[in-house]
């Protein structure tokens, strides 16, 4: 399949089966494929083998393949633009059927491949340091649009989808699109789907407490990462308006009760803003906040190509903050973001409003 094909190609308006589970396939195919194992076969071809051509699904009856090709399609998002970073990262602008656009990021650390996926077009949470938040929410993504990002990047770069790690840290708040994200997650970790171990998938949230509590009841589930950005409610509410609804006390209570595996830790992401949240007092407060939580901290110096008005601390100041946490027994590391030179780093993913409304 040509993943750069235009949205108005013949057949592009046929219903798209990609991203459906077997139960959903059985329901939509109806009398066309009444036997349950046909739905299971189609599911495996689409997600496990990444096949988009019904005629290539050779264990299906020839008549069924013909009928499927006339009534349905299997389609991924289309690559509209690729930007290559000097650090090996790539940022993808992907076009969706309705003309909307999202951004996804391919990152490589030695032999480890990580894909940063979007879950929404835009984001409703309006964090003051995040370019995505300036878009507002355009719409949620479907499960097929979410897992399709993995299929597209794997095909373009040339790696097996089951080899990578996934982080839901792109455009959108994953817990705000809970049902679709979890359907996508189940396809990603299904042995007949992408076959990823659940531990290789991480979901990052700005702190939607009901979503965190709900996620803790899932089995399997992705690993959880929580964005903090501040250690006091007043500042966090200024930086992250969601804190006005779910303050630090309720957020940390949800984190303390979140069930963890034997060797699992919660990840806390802390954006370092020069002179704003990077003082020794902030480090001491963070250590107190994390008391009783099996946690590790990723310190992320601000990407100055993002929203104007914020600055990143220099390496020495960031190092002192990390060392203050380590001295208090909190595992912490500094994560200098990949793809800063191509607008692919944390908080830099954004599409112009006009680019999300075509079609």
Residues with Cβ < 8 Å from 291, sequence gap 6 or more? Answer: none
Alpha carbon distance 123, 140 (integer Å):
9
Alpha carbon distance 122, 151 (integer Å):
21
Alpha carbon distance 124, 175 (integer Å):
12
User: Exactly one of 81, 101, 103, 316 is catalytic; which is it?
Assistant: 103
Structure token pair of residue 320: 């002192």
- Is 103 an active-site residue? yes
**Phi, psi (deg, nearest 5) at residue 144:** -65, -35
Q: b vs e for 339-355, b when ≥16 Cβ sit within 10 Å of the residue's Cβ?
A: bbebbbbbbbbbbeeeb
User: Exactly one of 116, 164, 255, 346 is catalytic; which is it?
Assistant: 346
Axis-axis angle for helices 143-157, 178-189 (nearest 10): 40
- Is 123 an active-site residue? no
Alpha carbon distance 228, 287 (integer Å):
13
Enumerate the active-site residues. Answer: 103, 346
């Amino acid at each position: 399949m040509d993943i750069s094909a235009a949205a108005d190609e013949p057949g592009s308006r046929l219903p798209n089966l990609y991203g459906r589970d077997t139960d959903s396939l059985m329901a939509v195919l109806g009398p066309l494929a009444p036997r349950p194992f046909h739905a299971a076969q189609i599911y495996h071809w689409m997600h496990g083998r990444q096949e988009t051509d019904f005629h290539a699904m050779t264990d299906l009856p020839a008549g069924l393949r013909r009928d499927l090709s006339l009534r349905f399609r299997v389609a991924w998002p289309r690559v509209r633009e690729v930007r290559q970073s000097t650090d090996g990262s790539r940022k993808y602008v992907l076009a969706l059927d309705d003309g909307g656009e999202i951004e996804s990021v391919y990152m490589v650390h030695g032999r480890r491949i990580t894909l940063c996926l979007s879950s929404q077009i835009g984001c409703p949470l309006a964090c003051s340091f995040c370019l995505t938040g300036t878009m507002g929410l355009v719409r949620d993504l479907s499960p097929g649009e979410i897992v399709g990002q993995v299929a597209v990047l794997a095909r373009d770069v040339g790696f097996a989808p089951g080899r990578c790690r996934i982080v839901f840290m792109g455009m959108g708040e994953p817990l705000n699109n809970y049902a679709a994200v979890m359907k996508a997650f189940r396809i990603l970790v299904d042995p007949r789907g992408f076959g990823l171990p659940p531990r290789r998938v991480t979901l990052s949230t700005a702190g939607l407490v009901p979503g965190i509590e709900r996620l803790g009841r899932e089995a399997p589930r992705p690993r959880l990462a929580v964005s903090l950005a501040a250690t006091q409610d007043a500042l966090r509410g200024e930086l992250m308006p969601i804190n006005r609804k779910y303050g630090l006390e309720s957020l940390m209570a949800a984190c303390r009760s979140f069930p963890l595996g034997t060797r699992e830790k919660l990840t806390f992401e802390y954006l370092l803003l020069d002179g704003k949240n990077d003082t020794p007092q902030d480090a001491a407060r963070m250590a107190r906040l994390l008391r009783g939580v099996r946690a590790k901290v990723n310190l992320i110096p601000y990407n100055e190509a993002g929203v104007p008005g914020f600055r990143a601390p220099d390496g020495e100041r960031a190092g002192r903050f990390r060392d203050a946490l380590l001295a208090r027994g909190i595992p912490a590391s500094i994560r200098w973001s990949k793809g800063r030179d191509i607008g692919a780093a944390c908080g830099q993913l954004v599409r112009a409003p006009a680019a999300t409304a075509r079609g």
